[in-house]
Structure 1
Amino acid sequence: MNHTGTDAEAINRSIGPFYTADSLAPAMGLTEAQLVQLVTDGVIVGVHSVEGDLVVPTRQFRDRLEPAPNLPALVRILRHGLGEWTIAQWVLAPAPSWEGLCAIDLIFRGWSYPVLLEAWRDVMRWSDNTAALEEPAGPVGWDWDAFDPTENAPGRTPHHPRIRPGDARGE
């Protein structure tokens, strides 16, 4: 996807700025090949610039350069029909339905299930590639009335959610 002029500027405002692979990999204690593998596995969201270079949006990280919990589950769902730039926008751009927060903010607040379910619903609407895509299972006793995107999930803090990476159910 080529982005030029004001289109690129709008994208940079919504999901950027970006780390380059050669600056982020050593900061995380990784080789560039290991960083590429994390992007391939959906552990980190990365996109390719017009020049073909891998760049990684900075907004997906918090205090430390640690991947967000449950991001791989979210990326697996979104890859059923969306390209890398659209996935980055879905994960990192503020959403009016979530009080101006983005999906990654909610994941860090411990609200992975509503994010995974919304991603699943969007992909089911937008893509023809959904044959093997199952609806995410919610946590035991899930209560939609308790969902408030502006607050942390009950019993969770923004940087230490109890949901383990790769565990969409949070049990």
Structure 2
Amino acid sequence: MTNPWAVIIGPCYTRASLARVLRWTEQEVVDAAATLDLLELDTIEGKMLYPAFQIHDGQVIEGIKEVLEVLSTGTASRWTWAQWLNASVDDESDQQSPSAIEQLRAGHIDDVILDARHTAWSWSS
């Protein structure tokens, strides 16, 4: 049976594999996660995973820190943040709109931050 989170979040890096991709040390990965420069997910087994969707062409996607900071005001659940970032939703015309992470990749940082504010507000209500 497939873990539903694996389907929702997609592939993830370990700390070591992400450090290799970014050409960082593992401590730099830890520090970046602590300051929300990266999304880090803690598994039930105590392993730290880093969703691959936040990396593009060997770099952290621009705007991820700002979005994570906003989402953190609504819930502390990083798994919820990951789901919000990677899920596509149907828009008003029943067409699937790009996920927040796809919008960030396309450079629509301000739009994603605005959506994150609305979402964080609803989570905290």
Q: Which amino acid aligns with 1:79?
A: S
Task: Provide, for residues 81-110 of structure 1, a one-character-per-residue CA deviation record: whole Å limited to 9, x for no partner.
Answer: 221110111112222238342111101112
In 2, distance between residues paired with 1:88 and 1:39? Answer: 13
Aligned sequence identity (%): 26
Question: Residue 42 of structure 1 corresponds to which residue in structure 2?
Answer: 36
Q: Using the TM superposition, give the Cα deviation of residue 29 of structure 1 relative to its aligned residue in structure 2, in angstroms.
A: 1.6
Structure (1/2) with the larger strand percentage: 2
**Structure 1: 5+ residue stretches without partners:** 129-171
In 2, distance between residues paired with 1:72 and 1:54? Answer: 18
In 2, distance between residues paired with 1:53 and 1:32? Answer: 14
Question: Residue 80 of structure 1 corresponds to which residue in structure 2?
Answer: 73
RMSD: 1.8
| Count of aligned pairs | 121
- Classify the secondary structure of the residue corresponding to 2:59: coil
TM-score relative to the length of structure 1:
0.64
Runs of 4 or more, structure 1, over 6 Å off, are none
User: What are the equivalent positions in structure 2 for 1:18-57 lying under 5 Å apart?
Assistant: 18-57=12-51
**Structure 2: 5+ residue stretches without partners:** none
1:69 aligns with 2:62: yes
Structure (1/2) with the larger helix percentage: 2
- Classify the secondary structure of the residue corresponding to 1:55: strand
- Classify the secondary structure of the residue corresponding to 1:96: coil
TM-score relative to the length of structure 2:
0.86
